[in-house]
Amino acid sequence: MIPPIANRFVAGESPAEALDHARQLNQQNVKAIINLLGEHYDERPPARSDAAEYRSLANDIASSDLDACLSVKPSQLGLDLGDDVFREEVTEIVNAAAEHDVFVWIDMEDHTTTDVTLDTFEELAREHDGGVGVCVQANLKRTREDVERLADVPGKVRFVKGAYDEPSEVAYKKGERVDEAYRSLLEYAFEHFDGGIAVGSHDPEMIEYATSLHEEHGTDFEIQMLMGVRKDAQYDLADEYEVWQYVPYGGRWKSYFFRRVMERKENLRFALRAVLGR
C-alpha cells in the first residue's frame, strides 16, 4: 500500500487504482496518461509481464469509456536486452491498443536511445496512421533535426526540456539555453505541424508561449503535466485547453516518488510537512 505521503505523485499500486484516478480526472475535464512504473530490465520476463499488463490496460480503458491513454518506456520493454526485443514488445502493445482505439505514448530516455526510439515510433505511426506518440527533449542538440524529420509523421510529438544528465557534447547544459531551444522547437512545430503537438511542461512561461503560438497559427495542441505538480493549474487550464495528466502506478513507486520529491523545492516542502505532520 502506498503511504499518503507518496499518493500525491503515484496513483496506486494496481491498475484499478490508476483507472479510478483517471476517472476522477475526467470529472475535472483532465485526461490521463497511464504509466506502469518500471525501467531498465535486464531480463525478459519482467518486460513481457509489463507489456501484457499494458495490453490489458488498453482493454480496460476502452471498456471503461475513459479519456485515457498509455505511456511506455523503451527500457521497460527490453531495450537494454536489444533493439529487437523493444520493437517486438512495443509493437504488440500498439497493435493491441489500436484494436481498442487507445493511444500509446513512447517515452524518450537518455540520448543513446534516441535513434531506435524515433525509428520505432515512425514505423508504428505510419503503419497505424497515428495512434502513437513520441517525446523529444529540447536539451539535446540534435532535436531540431529530429523535429524537422517528424513534421510529416502522423501521430503526436511531446516537447519537454529534458530530465537526463547528458554530456555537454550532445546537450545544452545551461537552463536559459534549454529554454531558448524549447521556444524555438515550439515555434517550428506550431508553424509546420498539422496538430499533434503536446507541450510537456510545468513552466508557466512556456505554457503561455504555446498558447500564444496556438492563437497565431491555429494549430491544435495539448498540455501535459505530472500527477501531483500544479494540480490547480491543470484544472484551470482544462477550462480552455486540452490537458493531460501523467498518471504513474505500480509496485516500483519508491524510486519515482523520491525523484519527484527531490526535483522541486515545493515537492520537498510538501514531503517534509507530511512527515512532520504540519
Cell of 31: 485526461
Answer for the pair 32, 22: CB distance below 8 angstroms, yes or no: yes
Say which residues have a Cβ less than 8 Å from residue 131's Cβ, sequence separation at least 6. Answer: 94, 97, 98, 101, 103, 104, 124, 125, 155
The DSSP element (H or E) to which 185 belongs, if any, is helix 175-192
Please list the helix, strand and coil fractions of the chain in percent, rounded to the nearest 5, in that order. Answer: 55, 15, 30
Amino acid at 112: T
- Cα distances from 213 to residues 6, 67, 189, in angstroms, run 36, 26, 10
Pick the closest to residue 156 from 92, 228, 86, 71 (CA basis): 71
All cell numbers assigned to 125? 505511426
Residue numbers annotated as active site:
107, 158
Q: Which long-range contacts (CB under 8 A, 24 or more apart) does 3-6 make?
A: 4/274, 5/271, 5/274, 5/275, 6/253, 6/254, 6/257
Say if CB 154 and CB 183 are below 8 A apart: no
Please name the helix (run of DSSP H) or strand (run of DSSP E) that holds residue 91, with its range, or none.
helix 83-99
